[in-house]
Chain A
Amino acid sequence: MRDYPLENRYAFPAHEVAFNKGASISLSPVKGGFVVHVLGDAKSDEAALKQTINKIAPELGTDVRGHSPNQWFWVGSVDISNDRLAEISAALHPQFVMTDQTHGRVRMKLSGPSSRVVLAKGTMVDLSPDLFAIGQSAMTQIGHIGAMITRVADDSFELIVLRSFAGSLWDELQHMAAEFSHG
């Protein structure tokens, strides 16, 4: 049975929300890629982390998002093997340690002209374009669910949420977006 088929299942109930054509909002899971939780020491900062990543794994990009003081989520769109992760982990040491959270922290994308209004129904973070720049992140709550919001484009936000809450947040966002979903 060692050849038993293994499937990596997504945490979301669907591949996308079937909003009507012309809706000012869209919601979809971000498939593939990685989320690595990086923990620095008291002296480490984001610049040092990016510098280190550029040195040891430039091919993975330096999309790092501040999680808490001296801690980041390092996010990328390609899949990484266990062996490569082990190499990276060793190379980050000792200033940084890392733990793979690709399965524990899942990503979804909320886009469209109404995305800010929808998110304002859940988060107290001010996401106005002049205050929340592209690439900026905030660890917050959407309703009662902890989530990290990152602005990835003009009207597009990526949400990172604990896998166990993914279905619940997905449903809540659908409710929040419903008024904008009918084109």
Chain B
Amino acid sequence: MTSFRIDGGTLIDRNDVRRFTFNDEALTGFGGDTVASSLLANGKQLVGRSFKYHRPRGILTAGAAEPNALLTIGRDGRRGPNTRATMAELFDGLEARSQNCWPNVNFDIGAMNGVLGPLLGAGFYYKTFMWPAAFWEKVYEPLIRKAAGLGRASYDPDPGYYEKCWAHCDLLVIGAGPAGLAAALTAGRAGARVVIADEGAHLGGGFLAEGSPLGGKPADAVLADIVGELHALPNVEIKKRTTVFAAYDDQVFGAVERVQKHLPEHEINPHRAMERLWRIVARKVVLATGAEERPIVFGGNDRPGVMMAGAMRTYLNAYGVAPGKRVALFANNNQAYQTAMDLEARGIDVAAIIDPRTCPNTGYDGKARMIAGAMVRDTAGRKAIKSITVRHDDGRDEVIAVDALAVSGGYSPIVHLACHRGGKPVWSDEHVGFMPPESTDGMTPCGAVAGKTGIAACFAAGGAAAVTALAELGVMGEAASLPDIKQGDEKTDHIQPIWSVPSSKGKAFVDYQNDVAASDITLAMREGYDHVELAKRYTTNGMATDQGKTSNVNAIGILAENKGVSPGEIGTTTFRPFYTPVSFGALVGASKGMEFQPVRKSPLHGWAERNGAKFVETGLWYRSSWFPKDGETFWRDSVNREVKAVRSKVGVCDVSTLGKIEVFGADAAEFLNRVYCNAFLKLPVGKARYGIMLREDGFVYDDGTTSCLGENHYFMTTTTALAAGVLTHLEFCAQVLWPELDVRLASATDQWAQMAVAGPKSRDVLAKIIDEDISNEAFPFLAAREVSMFGGRLKGRLFRISFSGELAYEVAVPAGYGESVADAIMAVGEEFGITPYGTEALGVMRIEKGHVTHAEINGTVTPADLGMGKMVSVKKDDFIGRVMNLREGLVDPDRPSLVGIKPKSPSDKFATGSHILNPGDAVSLANDQGYVTSMCHSPTLGHAIGLALVKNGPSRHGEEVVIWNGLAGTTVNGILCDPAFVDPENEKLHA
């Protein structure tokens, strides 16, 4: 194999030899190399196969826009598909593989597609897979899906740690080329907080490709001085390997930093992020993103060895890699001639310069043969370019042998970030490109993105942009300048647009990544898809990982040329984040596995764990759902035991997760009276009341108890699910609806450990730890007050309320004491047979009692639907939901209303969600009478029971119905009944 490594290369360290494999072949490169530069140095021009036609493809660029050289790098969980070889830094032990080829990149069966090329044009799927219709789902789609996609993701978990981070600055400089460096230096010297971010491993941009001295000093030495000064400024934060991928509102920018992706496995610090997702908040922004060199669309322009002229210069000067031994240049602008000069300066034969301009005034005085007024129309070579065919202005063809071709079709400013917030780029005939929008909202484009060319001009523009931005912040700055270089010495350039070479022979590619040829664009136009957005979608031009960085403007140009209008009239497609692909790892950050979301733990979590609880996630909370004992292998064994224990003896349950809100203020009673549909104005101190809150539309929002603990002090409980929602609702009412009321609200959910102590022996248990008289007379049903406990050592709150339907209390103590108090209750309750019970048993008991939860309060029910219509006050002047609750449809007696339901045969079971039908009716939702909202096995009754919302339910107790499970396709005969299966007279509550 021939080595293409030559002398020089400002970025590589020849003493640092790095071994790597490419398609299992052992190769070497140097520290500082990219995978692309090291492959080129090893003579690897063929690196992958194209998506559709599996054509051989090489390395086109030296940066982020690379459409061809997408490799899979790494192994197992660290395997990264679609990694741009031009961006990936070489490390020792790196493993790289070509994609989209089988069995290998040199011999790829998929290349057969190339033979079918004429059949596979734009819209191929739409036109071909029309019939038979049944084939689409079973044959066509699976086949297309198998063929689709680039690279394959790893199925192994990524062992790397990822994270997110915020940064703040006065000035964000995006891009560290000459313009960006000047801006950062200017602002840094002025004392502003600066963040400068660049996607590359090295700061420098255009400096890195520069082979000529600047002001008599090597370009890399000039660059080193600038970077050195920036590093020394404490107010400048330098972010290398950081791609700013999105501009969001309020000057927030998304960026991804590849922190350790460039390191070999043994150097990776497991405690550091592999990648870090930044959200950068900037007061002002200097956009110095540069310009992308455009390919030219001509026959065979995708053959390995065809490369952007600027990229070739970078490989030559920064990496010491020769693109070939005999190179031609095909360019329509003067800037690209620098590549020819640099090649010649390094002793590489430049076979010819083909320029479509008839009299280019380039100032080029090198040895290469100039062919003006000509274009390359074809290339030859099987897996790498061997020759080009040049069409002269007199119509004559000439074949020139080359092993590399540099191409430059002009420069497209990288305007993406300037357009993410909705701005549209503006066409410039002068620059032959789309320029940033006129209004960029705090963002100043400068340098190549603003149409400047040359290091000196860009540097000057960057400094000036920073001065302007700083002035808007009230900071005086002086533009940094390059020593001994004439600032503003911008070479005049005349670019002659060529969107595609008319005499092209063979496929002339516009979009390399999607295999879109010029003929596809014109086909789309002929078929009516001539709008730029339609053409994109019809042809796929500009899609996939590179989002058309090298293809979009050429496609627009072809559309414009064929319609006879300016590219400005065609316009661009919409620019949206992300600028380049961002890994899922970075987007997910640390939120994976058990850290996917925060965990909320009750103050009694430890107590429940010690008692063997099985936990269930309810929202973020972990709640104890049942407490299995030895020998219980099925959850319902435990639940049945717990229910029976509570019904016959006593149990204790953690209810700390219920929302708790302290309500204060001289108008607190009036406030509650307005937010609840039932009366609260006269709730006496020391009493609790069950309340129902309606939404404005008259449906039930939430329920719970509110206790009056003192004059102007109430304690509200909400359901666990709506704790935050209810507080927000109350704050809205207090701040917006009735600001005249003196009411103040504070969340107290976490302050209290709250336990339900339920069962006929509950009073006996609590009497042993509560210092006060809690007899039925002294502390009747719905009593609520602060109590002294443990001989005055603790103050708690005691509520005589019951969700289970038993004689029951809820006791609240300061959270830190929760576990001790729960332990004490278990200890004193031992003689009464106390058992801890979980939310499953709680759920069973509330169904047995006919109490509702959000299974019934499902957003479609009124209080009357739940059998609580009488609670809705008719005396109060107003409350939330009053008027809408009176709507005709909401008072219809035929509405589905709460009813109990049980199987006709006790051995039958049914499922929640089943529908209720009248006997004899056809099994169809057309005959729907309602549905089961909750069901359980009642250990108290020994059979299944449920709650249901059934048309006119309360008047149908005793009626036989059919319970239809549509999913399982089963029916069971059932009987509607009173929803209170246990203690309908409420005797236990008042015991």
Question: Which residues does A use to contact B, with CB under 8 Å?
Answer: 1-11, 37, 39-42, 71, 82, 94, 97, 99-105, 117, 120-121, 123-124, 126, 128, 143-145, 162-165, 167-169, 171-172, 175-176, 178-179, 181-182
A103 touches B750 (CB 8 A): yes
Which size bracket describes the interface of B in this complex? 35 or more
**Residues of B contacting A7 with CB < 8 Å?**
817, 819-820
| Nearest neighbor of A39 in chain B, beta-carbon distance | B744
A3 touches B791 (CB 8 A): yes
Stretch of B165-173, B322-330, B578-586, B866-874 at the chain-chain interface: B165-173
How many Å lie between the Cα of A2 and that of B827 in the bound state? 11
How many Å lie between the Cα of A42 and that of B740 in the bound state? 10
B820 touches A103 (CB 8 A): no
Is residue B599 contacting chain A, with contact meaning CB distance below 8 A? yes
Stretch of B139-147, B337-345, B429-437, B659-667 at the chain-chain interface: B659-667
Stretch of B562-570, B601-609, B967-975 at the chain-chain interface: B601-609
B746 touches A179 (CB 8 A): no
B749 touches A145 (CB 8 A): no
Evaluate whether A6 and B279 lie within 8 angstroms (CB atoms) in the complex, with A94-B666, A121-B165, A143-B590 already known. Answer: no
| Nearest neighbor of A145 in chain B, beta-carbon distance | B598
Instruction: List the 7 closest A-B pairs by CB distance, nearest first.
Output: A104-B751, A104-B750, A178-B271, A103-B815, A39-B744, A8-B816, A164-B600
B597 touches A144 (CB 8 A): yes
B746 touches A39 (CB 8 A): yes
**Residues of B contacting A5 with CB < 8 Å?**
820
How many Å lie between the Cα of A2 and that of B824 in the bound state? 9
Evaluate whether A124 and B166 lie within 8 angstroms (CB atoms) in the complex, with A1-B768, A172-B595 already known. Answer: yes
26 sampled A-B residue pairs with Cβ under 8 A: A1-B768, A1-B827, A2-B768, A2-B771, A4-B827, A5-B820, A8-B814, A9-B816, A41-B742, A100-B814, A101-B750, A103-B815, A103-B817, A104-B747, A105-B750, A120-B165, A121-B165, A121-B166, A126-B166, A126-B281, A162-B750, A163-B751, A165-B600, A168-B599, A178-B271, A181-B271
**Residues of A contacting B165 with CB < 8 Å?**
117, 120-121
How many Å lie between the Cα of A97 and that of B495 in the bound state? 74
**Known contacts A4-B820, A71-B746; 18 further A-B pairs (Cβ under 8 A):** A1-B768, A2-B768, A2-B791, A3-B791, A4-B827, A8-B814, A8-B820, A39-B664, A41-B742, A42-B739, A103-B814, A104-B747, A124-B279, A128-B168, A143-B591, A144-B591, A165-B598, A178-B272
**Residues of B contacting A6 with CB < 8 Å?**
790, 793-794, 817, 820-821, 824
**Residues of A contacting B662 with CB < 8 Å?**
99
**Residues of B contacting A169 with CB < 8 Å?**
598
How many Å lie between the Cα of A96 and that of B380 in the bound state? 86
> Measured between C-beta atoms, what is the minimum distance from B751 to chain A in Å?
3
**Residues of B contacting A168 with CB < 8 Å?**
598-601
How many Å lie between the Cα of A100 and that of B797 in the bound state? 14
> Measured between C-beta atoms, what is the minimum distance from B61 to chain A in Å?
33
**Residues of B contacting A39 with CB < 8 Å?**
664, 744-746
B827 touches A123 (CB 8 A): no
How many Å lie between the Cα of A23 and that of B38 in the bound state? 39
**Residues of A contacting B665 with CB < 8 Å?**
97
Question: Which residues does B use to contact A, with CB under 8 Å?
Answer: 161, 163-168, 193, 269, 271-273, 279, 281, 590-591, 595, 597-603, 606, 621, 662, 664-666, 713, 739, 742, 744-752, 768-769, 771, 790-791, 793-795, 814-821, 823-824, 827-828
Evaluate whether A182 and B271 lie within 8 angstroms (CB atoms) in the complex, with A126-B168, A171-B595 already known. Answer: yes
How many Å lie between the Cα of A18 and that of B861 in the bound state? 53
Most buried by A among B161, B167, B744: B744
How many Å lie between the Cα of A104 and that of B742 in the bound state? 25
**Residues of A contacting B664 with CB < 8 Å?**
39, 97, 99
How many Å lie between the Cα of A43 and that of B599 in the bound state? 38
Complex partner residue of B748 from A8, A82, A104, A128, CB under 8 angstroms: A104
**Residues of A contacting B769 with CB < 8 Å?**
1-2, 4
**Residues of A contacting B666 with CB < 8 Å?**
94
How many Å lie between the Cα of A97 and that of B666 in the bound state? 11
| Nearest neighbor of A101 in chain B, beta-carbon distance | B751
Most buried by B among A97, A102, A169: A97
> Measured between C-beta atoms, what is the minimum distance from A167 to chain B in Å?
6
How many Å lie between the Cα of A39 and that of B730 in the bound state? 15
| Nearest neighbor of A178 in chain B, beta-carbon distance | B271
Complex partner residue of B166 from A8, A100, A120, CB under 8 angstroms: A120
> Measured between C-beta atoms, what is the minimum distance from B755 to chain A in Å?
15
> Measured between C-beta atoms, what is the minimum distance from B36 to chain A in Å?
30
A1 touches B601 (CB 8 A): no
A102 touches B814 (CB 8 A): yes
**Residues of A contacting B828 with CB < 8 Å?**
1, 4
How many Å lie between the Cα of A102 and that of B816 in the bound state? 9
Evaluate whether A9 and B606 lie within 8 angstroms (CB atoms) in the complex, with A1-B769, A163-B750 already known. Answer: yes
> Measured between C-beta atoms, what is the minimum distance from A31 to chain B in Å?
11
**Residues of B contacting A10 with CB < 8 Å?**
816
B193 touches A128 (CB 8 A): yes
> Measured between C-beta atoms, what is the minimum distance from A165 to chain B in Å?
6
How many Å lie between the Cα of A4 and that of B590 in the bound state? 43
B820 touches A9 (CB 8 A): yes
How many Å lie between the Cα of A9 and that of B601 in the bound state? 14
How many Å lie between the Cα of A163 and that of B748 in the bound state? 11
**Residues of A contacting B713 with CB < 8 Å?**
97
How many Å lie between the Cα of A66 and that of B602 in the bound state? 26
**Residues of B contacting A41 with CB < 8 Å?**
742, 744
**Residues of A contacting B599 with CB < 8 Å?**
167-168
A3 touches B819 (CB 8 A): no
**Residues of B contacting A104 with CB < 8 Å?**
747-752, 815
Most buried by B among A8, A41, A94, A103: A103
**Residues of B contacting A97 with CB < 8 Å?**
664-665, 713, 744
Complex partner residue of B816 from A42, A103, A143, A178, CB under 8 angstroms: A103
Complex partner residue of B271 from A9, A144, A171, A179, CB under 8 angstroms: A179
Complex partner residue of A37 from B746, B752, B790, B819, CB under 8 angstroms: B746
How many Å lie between the Cα of A120 and that of B280 in the bound state? 11
**Residues of B contacting A163 with CB < 8 Å?**
603, 750-751, 815
**Residues of A contacting B281 with CB < 8 Å?**
124, 126
**Residues of A contacting B279 with CB < 8 Å?**
124
How many Å lie between the Cα of A182 and that of B714 in the bound state? 50
| Nearest neighbor of B828 in chain A, beta-carbon distance | A1
